[in-house]
Amino acid sequence: MTNRNSLLLRYAGNDLIKNKGVNLALLVVLVLSAFLMATGAMVIERLVGAVDQLYAEAKPPHFLQMHKGDYDAEALQRFAAGQPDIQAWTVVRMYGFDSSALSWQRPSTGQTGDLSDSLIDNLFVQQNPDFDYLIDQAGNIAQPGPGEVYLPVAYQQRFGLQEGDRLRVGAEAGSLELVVRGFVRDAQMASSLSSSTRFLVSPADLVTLGRSAGAEPEIIVEYRLKDPGATAQLQGAYDADAALPKNGQAVTYQMIRIINAFSDGLVAIALMFASVVLIIIAMLNLRFVIRGTLQDQVREIGAMKAIGIPDREVSRLYLAKYGVMTLVACVIGGLLAILAAGLLSRDVRVNYAAAPLSVWTFLVPTLALVAVYLVVLVICRSVLRRVRRIEVVNALVHGSTLTERQTAKQARRAAQRVRSTSLISSRGGSLNRRLAWLDLRAEARQWALLPAVFFLAAVLMALPMNLLSTFESPRFVTYLGAPESDIRADLAYTDDLDAVRSKLAGQLADDDRLLDVRSYAKILGEVAGPEGAETLDVEVGDYTGRTVDFLEGGPPAEGEIALSVLNAQKYQVGPGDQLRVRQDQEWTSHVVSGIYQDVTSGGYTAKMQGEVTQGAAGYVIYADVADGVDPAAIAAEYGARFPAAAVIPMRDYVQQTLAYVTDAFASAAVLSFAFGIGVAVLITSLFLKLRMSSDRRKMGVLSAIGFSAREIIAQTRGKTLLLAALGTVAGLVFTATLGESLVGGLISLAGLGIAQLEFLPTVWLVYGVYPLILVGAGYLGAVLLTQRLRRTDKSAWLNQ
């Protein structure tokens, strides 16, 4: 046994050294596959571990209800007393400030700035006593002293804030100034998809802030349950109680986890997708290389079989080489993954927590590498079954891996090809191109590897880029439940809300630089759910003309209502169905006009036709700009006129809301582009090296009958260029059709409110520049590899 293993390893080592170029190219692809698979697995494990660690430290609520306005404290007491599943509950008192009222200064340098660019609601709170803690960067429950403030980690990263900076709250004289004591992680509001973020101050400073001008009081009613699985029942009971506060968004524990893990998890998923593509490419190349090796060494195989070596042992001889190669690739890929995962999970550690090491930390990437190793060996074993079919006589006499029946069949096919592709039938055109085309037709199966690789490389490059451009596009607002427009103005935190809305809307409508100004009011209605009345976020306004895109049906008319995807699923209704809604204590039936996609407010929203000018919880105004007008300039002008309104270009709104998601896609797009180009050059070089080695006799014949080296090289390069272009075009077509459906289906499983994703690609880049670069990279590989044929001794080709 020892001698046999020694022989296998010695043969594997000798072959690896003998065919250094081919084996190195294969090794690189296998290393990349193992590296990406292990990295994706490690990032997912770190992300899950970090979120779990933060949840263990912060103890977020299993159900919460945000509320603005007065509320009945006794009703909350009665409700909690009647719910045996509640373990603990609290009412978090908060004061909201508009971003324009928050500024900062760095005493050491004199540098100043403000937070006016942020659309997120800024809520000042004190530390909770029992659960839902805000955690500092050391993993401890933050406890600011008087005059101190802890800022959200997201603001530290976005505005470059530092410990020791001074935060001024309020734009008027006598505003409160606080020293930045540190930065906190918020298990409840960590993602950019969250509409709010929390600042932590001392109890005394919170009282002071509550008396400040511009402070808007708000509460969060929070519940921790003995059994988190009872969250749905608790939410149903809460919504059914009309006496409880509901003027705000309701959020569940599961929703918080999905939102927090969604963006960072996309990076890991993208890496693992890239790994799967590269593994497929590696498998195609292994199949090609093994078949070529068996053909080149068929006489040696025939000799081994002739002296009585069993087929299994012959296969093991070759399998040992690929086993060693794959093992080395997995080890190298695993070591590189440790470094890459540390870099990619850096933001995870900052935003959530440093995940503790556990058995899963080592087991998850190990299992990923084992999966890669086993898949490679299974493919190798399946290809090496050809050894059993090799006949000794054919191998030794004819140097063929085919049986006699296969040889006869191949001869008949060759004769048919000769009759159908005779050069005599050629009428004009280049003889060189004709020969190249005939060679492709005759050996289509051997050349099939190149278009397959370029197909996969095109998919690998285009899919992440299409996702990035889709989420960055201004048109993506239609997935946020908003119409496509140039400017958005939000109003919520102001004492004279209705008066400010009226004045702002009037000035916008009278501005000749603006077009199609529309106002919408945000109100709270109630729906008859399975366990009683449930709160429904409704946006009321004019939905005639261009508004949001609808998956089913259309915009609401008078007496109708349109629902988001998640609400339609929740209440099991579709266009044409009836939905009972209560407004101003009156129940009315509304026909569901259509279903649209929305990821804001947890994805649970509705729209109704009408006009509300008084008593709304908030307002949002949309406007387009005339040709030649800069939306940013208009937004800045009206933002200065109306400090209580958040006026911002719609592009900036999308970027802020989806900041974490787009950052994840940008990282994935860069990595996929680099790997796609690298693999295209690498595999093209590997393939052509093997093809030219097996075609030396054919090239020698062409040289002997008068073809120049330039013409022979042109044939090889032309075939490579054609097949690379065909594979690339097929990959882009797949991306735009089935790829779009596949990615949309995966994103819909996240439960964020997107049921059907339509790519919004940067056409000139993905379908213009990308294919040119990819095909050009493949052609460059062909040029570099065939260049040396000019210096080769042509007479030696006939002796191969």
DSSP-assigned states of every residue in 401-426: SS-HHHHHHHHHHHHHHHHHS-GGG-
438 phi, psi to nearest 5 deg = -65, -40
Q: Higher pLDDT residue, 274 or 611?
A: 611
pLDDT at 324 over 90: no
pLDDT at 160: 85
pLDDT at 11 over 70: no
pLDDT at 508: 92
What number of other Cβ atoms are within 10 A of residue 251's Cβ?
24
Q: Does 399 reside within a domain?
A: no
For the segment 669-676, the average pLDDT, to the nearest whole number, is 86
Q: Does 538 reside within a domain?
A: yes
For the segment 6-17, the average pLDDT, to the nearest whole number, is 60
Residues 447 and 585 in one domain: no
Residues 571 and 461 in one domain: no
pLDDT at 263: 61
pLDDT at 771 over 90: yes
* Rounded Cα distance, 223 and 60, in Å: 9
The string of pLDDT tens digits covering residues 587-631 is 888 999 999 988 776 678 899 988 877 778 788 999 999 988 899
Confidence of residue 370 (pLDDT cuts 50, 70, 90): very high
Helix intervals (H) in 218-309: 231-240, 253-296, 298-306
pLDDT at 264: 62
Element containing residue 170 per DSSP (H, E):
none
For the segment 389-417, the average pLDDT, to the nearest whole number, is 54
* pTM beyond 0.85, yes or no: no
* Rounded Cα distance, 353 and 345, in Å: 10
Q: Does 405 reside within a domain?
A: no
Residues 664 and 639 in one domain: no
Cβ(416)–Cβ(693) below 8 Å: no
The string of pLDDT tens digits covering residues 137-175 is 888 899 999 999 999 888 888 888 889 899 988 766 567
Q: Does 648 reside within a domain?
A: no
Q: Does 239 reside within a domain?
A: no
What type of residue is 359? Answer: V
The string of pLDDT tens digits covering residues 23-33 is 777 788 888 88
Which is it for strands 148-152 and 176-185: parallel, antiparallel or unpaired? parallel
pLDDT at 591: 92
Q: Higher pLDDT residue, 764 or 586?
A: 764
For the segment 726-740, the average pLDDT, to the nearest whole number, is 90
The string of pLDDT tens digits covering residues 49-107 is 888 888 888 898 999 888 877 888 899 999 999 888 899 999 999 988 877 788 888 88
**Which percentage of the chain shows pLDDT scores above 90?**
15
Q: Does 418 reside within a domain?
A: no
* Rounded Cα distance, 324 and 23, in Å: 11
pLDDT at 524 over 90: no
**Which percentage of the chain shows pLDDT scores above 70?**
80
Out of 584, 615, 643, pick the residue that ends a domain.
Answer: 643
Residues 351 and 312 in one domain: yes
Q: Estimate the crossing angle of helix 770-786 against helix 449-472, to 10 degrees.
A: 150
Residues 517 and 589 in one domain: yes
pLDDT at 247 over 60: yes
For the segment 344-352, the average pLDDT, to the nearest whole number, is 74
Residues 203 and 103 in one domain: yes
Q: Higher pLDDT residue, 70 or 418?
A: 70
For the segment 181-203, the average pLDDT, to the nearest whole number, is 82
Report angle CA 583, 588, 592 to the nearest 5 degrees.
Answer: 100
Q: Does 485 reside within a domain?
A: no
pLDDT at 187: 83
Out of 389, 411, 426, pick the residue that ends a domain.
Answer: 389
Out of 389, 415, 443, pick the residue that ends a domain.
Answer: 389
What DSSP letter does each residue of 552-604 carry, written as one string? EE----TTEEEEEHHHHHHHT--TT-EEEEEETTEEEEEEEEEEE-B-GGGG-
Cβ(182)–Cβ(136) below 8 Å: yes
Q: Domain range holding 610? A: 494-643
Q: Structure tokens of 55?
A: 């949840």
* Rounded Cα distance, 289 and 231, in Å: 56
Average predicted confidence (pLDDT) for the chain: 80
Residues 634 and 662 in one domain: no
How many domains, in total, are found in the chain? Answer: 4
Residues 511 and 560 in one domain: yes
Confidence of residue 770 (pLDDT cuts 50, 70, 90): very high
Q: Structure tokens of 699?
A: 């090239």
Fill in the DSSP letter of residue 738: I
The string of pLDDT tens digits covering residues 200-231 is 999 999 998 888 877 788 889 999 998 888 88
pLDDT at 428: 42
Residues 580 and 708 in one domain: no
Alpha-carbon torsion, ordered 740, 742, 746, 748, to 10 deg: 60
Helices (H) and strands (E) in the chain, counts: 27, 22
Q: Does 68 reside within a domain?
A: no
pLDDT at 747: 73
Confidence of residue 429 (pLDDT cuts 50, 70, 90): very low
For the segment 184-212, the average pLDDT, to the nearest whole number, is 83
For the segment 753-766, the average pLDDT, to the nearest whole number, is 83
For the segment 176-200, the average pLDDT, to the nearest whole number, is 83
The string of pLDDT tens digits covering residues 673-703 is 988 898 888 888 878 877 776 666 676 666 6
Residues 311 and 344 in one domain: yes
pLDDT at 796 over 60: no
Residues 554 and 531 in one domain: yes
For the segment 507-523, the average pLDDT, to the nearest whole number, is 90
pLDDT at 87: 92
pLDDT at 403 over 70: no
Q: Higher pLDDT residue, 675 or 800?
A: 675
**Mean pLDDT lowest among 130-134, 473-477, 573-577:** 473-477
pLDDT at 646: 79
Residues 172 and 294 in one domain: no
